[in-house]
Structure 1
């Protein structure tokens, strides 16, 4: 199985039978309708699954709904808040809330919680267990928040990790925010995640173009026995 970093929190997963695109925001090239998605993935043989974890514009682009005009075998799986915010219609997708499970016998998608909007996704596909966090993270700005706000953010994050741990303690691939905008503690949520779970491969996301900051998590990940996937450009592929 192969993974492709599209941009921000957008990824594609590829196996011989199909393609999963998660949290598409922009393609990997700067010009419209170019990049790995438009140039390769939308015409790739096999079933196409398109997932969106929540309504925020950097995780859900309504453009994805136009892709069904190019192919009839798309399965859309969206967080319920996308429907509730009127960004897609009732018949456009299957909508998932925390605790919901969808499967077609090939791909299984289970929705877990978030510490921001929408859900996170646990996928079971082709013998692999894969987690895409959406906006699940230990979100706090230590330099700007009160001690109580920091504690509350951490409690909320740990509650979601505990719920996930009741379903699995190991994952083949994890995609989780390593966002330098958080300041001093920007790696904290990622550290806490790999401390709690047995993770084979970890890929950073939600860092825009701050590749050096995101890749700085390699040292900590590898100290926990995790294989860190370094990213250096949009459209970069990696093995799972």
Structure 2
């Protein structure tokens, strides 16, 4: 499995000094970050079948396609930089205000559902929410600041066309859903928290992957949980990843759910290098790490930014 294209075979590059994210600094409630060049890629206009992706921690990603800007499972961990930017892995509403923004939240757990997203209306003119759960049905102390904002709900097995995107929800075996999105010449699978399985529950996981394969055939980008949730069986996690790769044939695989343990991403993905030599992977280390992906009808290409 190729990673980061040729950069995977070089010694790790030293990150920008202002993007260092030691455990000590991540625990701070306020950090100061300058904005390095990564965020300038917002000015680029992807073609059909092309996307820019920024790592926002844990399962959080921002993905810019030709006509859309998608935010998945944004999670601040109560860190609030004085200068938030995609370049340091945080959303600044002013920075993305020109974009057509859709915020996807797979489920209500605190490492996927963050109160920050409800402060964006009024700052981002074109903003919508898509949830795999119903926040208004949660206990008030679990709503993360939800106060009646409009949203699209997609439960397991539901498919909707939202702002020109075809969005399908599949069941997570932890909570909520995963999303399969057809957008601007790309098919993107964000798994949310379906990962591994409890004893005798393997079929519940594989059946959801089968449903994706039946609906779309293959995907361009798969963001998959590699650390587990309720049941952290490393064998089941590896088997689930293999099953996903065999069934969905992704061109780019991105491991997720490893916040503060990002060192584990390349270690996990290296297990499959021999079995899937043509599949590329992106293994971020720091919030704000970014990649440009070209897929769709074109040969897959991954470029670290």
TM-score, normalised to structure 1's length? 0.85
Correspondence for 1:208 among 259, 265, 270: 259
Alpha-carbon distance in structure 2 between the residues aligned to 1:157 and 1:228: 22
Specify every segment of 5 or more residues in structure 2 that has no aligned partner in the other structure, as ranges.
Answer: 1-50, 294-305
Match of 1:6? 56
1:134-173 matched pairs, under 5 angstroms: 134-139=192-197, 149-152=198-201, 154-173=202-221
Q: Is the 8 A contact 1:170 1:197 kept in 2?
A: yes
- Determine which structure has the larger strand proportion and give its number: 1
Alignment correspondent of 1:144: none
Pair 1:227 & 2:275 matched: no
1:127 to 161, 179, 185: 185
Structure 1 runs not aligned, ≥5 long: 140-148
Query: Among residues 77, 81, 84, which one is paired with 1:34 in the alignment?
Result: 84
Q: Distance in 1 between matches of 2:165 and 2:241?
A: 26
Q: What is the CA–CA distance in structure 2 between the aligned matches of 1:210 and 1:78, rounded to whole Å?
A: 26
Q: Contact 1:180/1:214 (CA < 8 Å) preserved in 2?
A: no
Q: Which residue of 2 aligns with 1:54?
A: 107
Cα contact 1:202–1:227 (8 A) shared by 2? yes
Show the counterpart of 1:143.
none
Q: Within 1, Cα distance between the matches of 2:170 and 2:103?
A: 17
RMSD: 2.4
CA gap 1:32/1:133 in 2 versus in 1, 3 angstroms: farther
Higher RCO structure (Cα 8 Å, ≥6 apart):
2
Q: CA deviation at 1:24?
A: 0.6
Relative to 1, partners in 2 of residues 1:105 and 1:34: Cα closer, same or farther, differing over 3 Å?
A: closer
Which aligned segments of 4 or more residues in structure 1 are displaced greater than 4 angstroms? 27-30
TM-score normalised per structure 2: 0.68
Partner-residue secondary structure (3-state), 2:70: strand
In structure 2, the partner of 1:192 is 243
Q: Give the aligned length.
A: 230
| TM-aligned CA deviation for residue 29 of structure 1 | 6.6
Q: CA shift at 1:221, angstroms?
A: 3.8
Cα contact 1:6–1:28 (8 A) shared by 2: no
